[in-house]
Amino acid sequence: MAKVEMKLLGTSAGPGVPAFFCECPACREARTNPAAARTRSTALLTIDDKRVLIDASPDLRVQLCREGVVDIDSVFLTHWHHDHYAGLGELEYYLRLKEKDRRLPIYLPPGYLEEFAAVFHRLVEIVDLREWRYEHTYGLEGVSLTPLRANHGITTAGFLIEAGKKLAYFPDTSGLPDATLAKVKGVDYLVCDATFYGENWYPDTHMTLAGAIELGKSVGAGETILTHLSMHYSIPLTVEQLKGELARFNGVLAGYDGMNIEL
């Protein structure tokens, strides 16, 4: 049976933690304690020796070097926002210098082929661009990956990954559409947007920590793992404070950079 793992390469919202411009308690903590720092949201699905990148944050090079990743077999993007696609440019050197005879499959949200070509024109000739389809199941070495609708203002998916266990990965969403809720009922792991602590500045596109916990309960997730954590808005929250907040809940964990989930 294949060994399947999901690694959270990055667990921050768009500004990162620390943000270069921020002096809140969470950012001050992250500057003095590397364990409290967070890079932007990216995940890596590993199936034996195959590696599927989910999103490509601006911190991608640092993330891959940190985890000792030397090969990528395919890429799936949840959506076309800078903090989730900007790292794709890092793959040019990998493809031109190491994988000269292979066009890397990159699955984009529907309707973004022209945007990709405008931003990454040097990549177009060396990648295999495709568009994922909602609710179409992609077979990956015996593991299935299915894009499901998320609520994020633009065309956005989360991914249901089914191996020995089921994992739903929704780093950017405001709740879930009814059809998606039905698909993720009873998952072993819900990795979920928990951008805000306190007031939700963007309730149509993101979730709060409390909302993510409630969503995990409503779908009956075995474990709810919080990701896309800003830590500094709307109310700054240090790692110690976050741990204290979550101690009241069973089956809720704060994701962190490098966290590994076995499937």
pLDDT number for residue 99: 87
C-alpha–C-alpha distance, residues 14 and 19, integer Å: 9
pLDDT number for residue 35: 94
Q: Walk me through the domains of the chain, giving residue ranges and CATH numbers.
A: 4-262 (3.60.15.10)
pLDDT number for residue 262: 97
State the pTM of this model.
0.97
Q: Which pair of tokens denotes residue 24?
A: 């809140």
**pLDDT (tens place) for every residue of the chain, 263 residues total:** 789 999 999 999 999 999 999 999 999 999 999 999 999 999 999 999 999 999 999 999 999 999 999 999 999 999 999 999 999 999 999 999 998 888 999 999 999 999 999 999 999 999 999 999 999 999 998 999 999 999 999 999 999 999 999 999 999 999 999 999 999 999 999 999 999 999 999 999 999 999 999 999 999 999 999 999 999 999 999 999 999 999 999 999 999 999 999 99
Q: What is the layout of strands, in order, in the sheet containing 189-193?
A: 138-140, 143-149, 157-162, 166-170, 189-193, 223-227, 252-254
Q: Which pair of tokens denotes residue 33?
A: 């304690």
pLDDT number for residue 100: 83
The answer to whether 143 and 165 have CB atoms below 8 angstroms apart is no
Q: Mark out the alpha helices in the chain (DSSP H runs).
A: 25-32, 60-67, 82-85, 91-97, 113-119, 178-184, 209-219, 239-246
